A and B are shown apart, each in its own frame.
Chain A
Amino acid sequence: EAQVTQNPRYLITVTGKKLTVTCSQNMNHEYMSWYRQDPGLGLRQIYYSMNVEVTDKGDVPEGYKVSRKEKRNFPLILESPSPNQTSLYFCASSLSFTGELFFGEGSRLTVL
Chain B
Amino acid sequence: RKEVEQDPGPFNVPEGATVAFNCTYSNSASQSFFWYRQDCRKEPKLLMSVYSSGNEDGRFTAQLNRASQYISLLIRDSKLSDSATYLCVVNGGTASKLTFGTGTRLQVTL
> Interface of A with B (CB < 8 Å)?
31, 35, 40-45, 48, 50, 56, 88, 90, 97-101, 103-106
Chain B: interface residue total (CB-CB under 8 A): 21
Complex formed: what's the CA distance from A99 to B42 in Å?
19
* Given A97-B95, A100-B49, also A106-B42 (CB < 8 A): yes
* Given A41-B102, A42-B101, A56-B96, also A99-B44 (CB < 8 A): no
* Given A90-B43, A100-B49, A103-B43, also A40-B96 (CB < 8 A): no
Contact with A along B80-110 (1 / 0, CB 8 A): 0000000101010001111011110000000
* Given A50-B96, A56-B96, A97-B96, also A43-B44 (CB < 8 A): yes
Q: How far is the CB of A32 from chain B (nearest CB, A)?
A: 11
Complex formed: what's the CA distance from A41 to B87 in Å?
12
Main SS of the interface on chain A?
strand
Chain B residues with CB below 8 A from A103, complex form? 43-45
> Interface of B with A (CB < 8 Å)?
32, 34, 36, 41-46, 49, 87, 89, 91, 95-98, 100-103
Complex formed: what's the CA distance from A43 to B75 in Å?
23
Complex formed: what's the CA distance from A55 to B107 in Å?
39
Chain B residues with CB below 8 A from A97, complex form? 95-96
Out of B43, B49, B96, which one reaches A105, CB within 8 Å?
B43
In the complex the two chains form, is B102's CB within 8 Å of A40's CB? yes
